[in-house]
Structure 1
Amino acid sequence: MPQYLISTYLPDDFDPSQMTEQTIQAIHALNRELIAAGVRRFACGLSPKAVTVRSQADGEAIVTDGPYLETKEYVGGLSILETENIDQALAWVRKGARVIPGVVEVREIFFNPAPAEDCVR
């Protein structure tokens, strides 16, 4: 069954301390629902702070503070869902968009070569 990376983007000035208890409980409820439906494989929030490692042509790696790209938003969380198809993944994302602030990106995860069925879980 296909898996999808769900990335939630938050504005650069997002302050998690401003999230209401109602929003936090709605996020927990959504996660419980995803688990009960058997589609959630992984989920987490991410810090807005990042360290970037960039490979150089000479083989060296440069470490810098901050995300790779200059943006006005950052990846604030991610989930991996396993559903029958993209439409089912999008249905879950639409449900989550009602409780989780920000923009959400959905990408199918592909393996090359595909793992054996017993290796997926």
Structure 2
Amino acid sequence: MKQYLLSVVEPSTGEPPAAEEMERIMARVAELERAVKEAGVWVFNGGLHQPGTATTLRPKGDDVLITDGPYAEGKEHLGGFLILRCEDLDEALEWARRAVAATTLPIEVRPFR
């Protein structure tokens, strides 16, 4: 079985959902997490803080430059992820469809090497 990374793509601008909507989203996400664990495909998942909390390290000659903030600025950022062990891409895509329905956000699916 291959492992797949399902990345939750969040907008970097705009207002977050209202509290009531966020509660509904988080309930759906909890149900998705329960379902992937029950199905035996769950490896790991987690949500991330906003990109401004990141620290980036870059090579600079023989040294390492450390800066606050994300590696790249953009209109979207990685908001969370789910790692699944699936038979094939089709199975991973089916779980991703469920993740889209739960989060109401785009989900990128990529296999691990």
What is the number of residues matched between the two proteins? Answer: 109
Deviation at 1:102, TM superposition (A): 2.2
Alignment of 1:102-113 (within 5 A): 102-110=105-113
Question: Is residue 24 of structure 1 aligned with residue 22 of structure 2?
Answer: no
TM-score, length of structure 2 as denominator length = 0.88
Q: Is the 8 A contact 1:10 1:101 kept in 2?
A: no
Q: Which residue of 2 aligns with 1:98?
A: 101
> Which residue, 20, 30, 51 being the options, matches 2:55?
51
Deviation at 1:17, TM superposition (A): 6.9
Alignment RMSD: 1.6
The gaps in structure 2 that reach 5 residues or longer are: none
Runs of 4+ displaced beyond 4 Å: none
Q: What is the percentage of aligned positions where both structures have the same residue?
A: 37
Alignment of 1:1-121 (within 5 A): 1-13=1-13, 15=16, 18=19, 19-48=21-50, 49-56=53-60, 58-110=61-113
The gaps in structure 1 that reach 5 residues or longer are: 111-121
More strand by share: 2
TM-score, length of structure 1 as denominator length = 0.83
Spell out, residue by residue over 1:4-37, the C-alpha distance to the aligned partner (whole angstroms, 9 max, x if none).
0111110113637745322111110110000000
Moved more, 60-69 or 78-87: 60-69
